Amino acid sequence: MCGFVGLYLNSNYNIEVRKLVSILNNMTNTLTHRGPDNKDIYINEKEKLAFGFRRLSIIDLKSSANQPMISKNKDWVIIFNGEIYNYKNLKEKLKRKKNYWRSNSDSEVALECISKYGFYNAIKKFNGMFAIAAYCLSKKTLWLARDRFGEKPLYYNYDTTYGFTFASELRAFSYFPNFKKEICQNALSQYLRYGYVPEPLSIFKKTYKLEPGYIIKFDKKNQVLKKGYWDSIKSFVNAKKNKFKGTFEDAKEKVKRHIDYSIKNRLVSDVPLGIFLSGGIDSSNLVLSLYRQNITANTFSIGFHDKNNNEIDFANKVSKTLKTKHSYKYVNNKDCIENIQSVVNAYDEPFSDPSQIPTYMLCKFVKKRITVAISGEGADELFGGYPRYQKIASFWNKIKKQPKTFSELMEAFSENFSSSKYSYMRSIGKKFRKYSHTNLDSLYNDEMSRWRPDEKILINRNFKGSYFDKKITNLNNIVSDPRYLMMRDIITYLPSNLLVKTDRASMHNSLEIRSPYLDNDLVSLVWSLPDNFIFYKNEKIILREILKEKLGSDFVNRKKQGFEPPLYAWLKGTLNQWAKDLLLNKNNFFDSSDIKILISRFEKGEKKLTYKIWTIIMFMAWQNKFCS
């Protein structure tokens, strides 16, 4: 796990090598938290190519595994962030003699696969989490790629004047002299709506995220080719066409075997490793998998003194039953105020999922003991863990046959009511808005929103260009509405929110997180399962049934509890002055009178504003930190 930056400058862009080295070092040093163990750079003056790399040593700790790395045939240079879990199998298939290899790292295997098969064909063979940049010297071509689900970040910027730049995090671009910190109005609008900036947008103009499952090819003729090497939707359709044949018990046993195999592959490490244990269904199943394989786990939990936001008792029960070496920590008000600036600094793009605070605190806590953590991201999106899937589908079934003119009338009314200063009118506006939808996508987008478009929080608004606008046309009559919504989450909420949250919180603490549920083969298996193996009686029925064998019905059938902090209490108390100072600062994007009204409503006890106001607070905190 690491961080990298790269520059591939135009031939006519004049820059002294000394200055290029200085720029590259400054950009690379912004990512020290992602890779504290080693730093190195590669500069090809003739090609005006520069790579910078920071390494967090995980597999093969020797210097021979450091990057940037050059292929054996001297034709490829690579910088690689992540892990290839099937690298041992790929290494065998390359059929090289033992003395061919300079290291035992997966990075070198990835490099030699690219050298043998070509970049595009090699990437399709990888089962892992990764962001990769590779340069082919003979063809003078730069390639970038990102893993299938977006576990590892990759930003890029292209300008015809100076060329192509890229980095693991946005903060690195600040040290490139031609980079302009101009906030993209469209990205800000989408951030205010969803609480994060969805792919492929970034908060800055002309800078983008490479989407999951995509590659970019760039050459000195200024030709930029972006294409997918893997498509979640097409793969889901193919899995549904090759649907699972067997009983529920057959499916349960096969899922167990796939989880076992996936987590075993993710245990390869030359540094201490542990597992996050919330006490919920997902993480408990991962611990159970280790127990089945007679592997003693180091488990870690974090909790709150507020009983409504605390699962530590459940985590302790899992630990006791499955015989783990368990450590836990309670987060209190002092922890919150002492770490809030670090949380802001960890997210160099506006981000406001409140669970970012406990996630950051958990990563900071476990880093004292381990360098690699296993986590349960992806399980809810695969196994139907969110109640919203069936709730949204049920409401859509209720309104989908209403006349279009009625929907248009509801939308017009909502625009007039939702931004009213009177609470009863805002409430009516919300109801009008809910009945205004003419398609399932629109309803889903609103249900995922913090600030709906009709609430008009921004002075200027624009909601185009993200994956929330992506039309999925080839799922008609193939899947049910709940499964369709799960796929919506896979391409939006999972990469843009959940995986961003865990990547930034963990890497800011120099901790690697691995997600067994996002294994290629496990995903394909789950996608092939019929709906009644996913939703029958309860969400995540297969995972619950697996866990019930060891932990019993009462444990697995309790109500789902999110990883949420007592944010309302913090904003009314511990964080109140910090938040108010940010909100009352002059800002060009918000009307100050609207903000004052918002503060007044919140302080009078309007608890439902908590997430809405947090979204604005975290934008302003980000702006103070990264744009001043």
Query: What CA dihedral angle connects 517, 523, 526 and 528, to 10 degrees?
Result: 180
Q: How many other C-beta atoms lie within 10 A of the C-beta of residue 390?
A: 16
Ranges in the chain annotated CATH 3.40.50.620: 234-385+489-556
pLDDT grade for 445, boundaries at 50, 70 and 90 = very high
Give the Cα separation of 317 and 404 in Å (integer): 53
Residue 309: pLDDT above 80?
no
pLDDT for 219 equals 87
Considering 236-240, 320-324, 534-538, the range whose residues carry the highest mean pLDDT is 320-324
Torsion of CA 189, 194, 196, 197, to 10 degrees: -50
Tokens standing for residue 211: 């989407």
pLDDT at 260 over 80: yes
Answer for the pair 154, 27: CB distance below 8 angstroms, yes or no. Answer: no
Residue 537 banded pLDDT, cuts 50, 70, 90: low
Residue 365 to residues 266, 286, 335, 501, Cα–Cα distance (Å): 21, 20, 11, 16
For residue 268, the model assigns a pLDDT of 95
What does the longest C-alpha to C-alpha distance in the chain come to? 75
Q: Is 36 helix (H, G, I), strand (E, B) or coil?
A: strand
User: What is the separation, in whole angstroms, between the first and last Cα of the chain?
Assistant: 30
Give, to the nearest 10 degrees, the angle between helix 440-447 and helix 388-399: 140
List the single range of 154-168, 177-191, 392-406, 527-541 with lowest mean pLDDT: 527-541
Q: Find the helix or strand (DSSP H, E) in which 218 lies.
A: strand 214-219
- Dig out the tokens for 386 from the structure: 């969110």
* Span 497-507, pLDDT tens digits: 999 999 999 99
CA nearest to 169, candidates 327, 32, 22, 337: 32
Query: Distance (Å, rounded) from C-alpha 351 to C-alpha 348?
Result: 8
In whole angstroms, give the CA distance from residue 22 to residue 37: 20
CA 217, 222, 223, 224 torsion-angle sign: positive
Sheet holding 49-55, edge to edge: 38-44, 49-55, 2-9, 163-167, 155-159, 207-209
Q: pTM score, two decimals?
A: 0.95
Residue with tokens 């690195």: 172
Strand partners, 82: 130
Separation of alpha carbons 154 and 3, rounded Å: 10
Q: Are β-strands 2-9 and 163-167 bridged in parallel, bridged antiparallel, or unpaired?
A: antiparallel
DSSP 197-240: --TTB-SBTTEEEPPTTEEEEEETT--EEEEES--HHHHHHHHH
- The answer to whether 83 and 106 have CB atoms below 8 angstroms apart is yes
Mean pLDDT of 232-248: 92
Average pLDDT over residues 120-145: 97
Say which CATH superfamily domain 234-385+489-556 falls into: HUPs (3.40.50.620)
Nearest Cα neighbor of 584 from 603, 569, 570, 597 is 597
Categorize the per-residue pLDDT at 522 as very low, low, confident or very high, splitting at 50, 70 and 90. Answer: very high
Angstrom distances, CA of residue 332 to CA of 329, 346, 459, 574 = 10, 20, 37, 10
Regarding the domain delimited by 2-230, which CATH topology (the fold level of the hierarchy) does it fall under?
A: Glutamine Phosphoribosylpyrophosphate, subunit 1, domain 1 (3.60.20)
pLDDT of residue 470: 73
Quote the pLDDT of residue 595. Answer: 92
Distance from C-alpha of 270 to C-alpha of 524, rounded to nearest angstrom:
29
Q: What is the mean pLDDT of the chain?
A: 92
- CA nearest neighbour of 31 among 61, 66, 5, 59: 5
Residue 211 · residue 467 · CB < 8 Å? yes
pLDDT given for residue 258 in this prediction? 98
| DSSP type of residue 355 | T
| Positive or negative torsion for Cα 183, 188, 190, 195 | positive
Let me know: does 24 contact 52? Beta carbons within 8 Å.
Answer: yes
Give the phi and the psi of residue 44 in degrees, each rounded to 5.
-110, 100
Q: Is the pLDDT of residue 592 over 90?
A: no
> What number of other Cβ atoms are within 10 A of residue 18's Cβ?
8
d(CA 525, CA 253): 12
pLDDT tens, 145-170?
A: 999 999 999 999 998 889 999 999 99
Conformational region of residue 465, where left means phi above 0, alpha means psi within -120 to 50, and beta covers everything else:
left
pLDDT of residue 462: 60
Comparing C-alpha atoms, which of 137, 135, 117, 150 is closest to residue 217? Answer: 135
**Closest by alpha carbon to 145, among 4, 303, 43, 290?**
4
Return the amino acid letter for 335. D
Please check the confidence at residue 407 and state whether its pLDDT lies above 80. Answer: yes
Domain with CATH 3.60.20.10 in the chain: 2-230
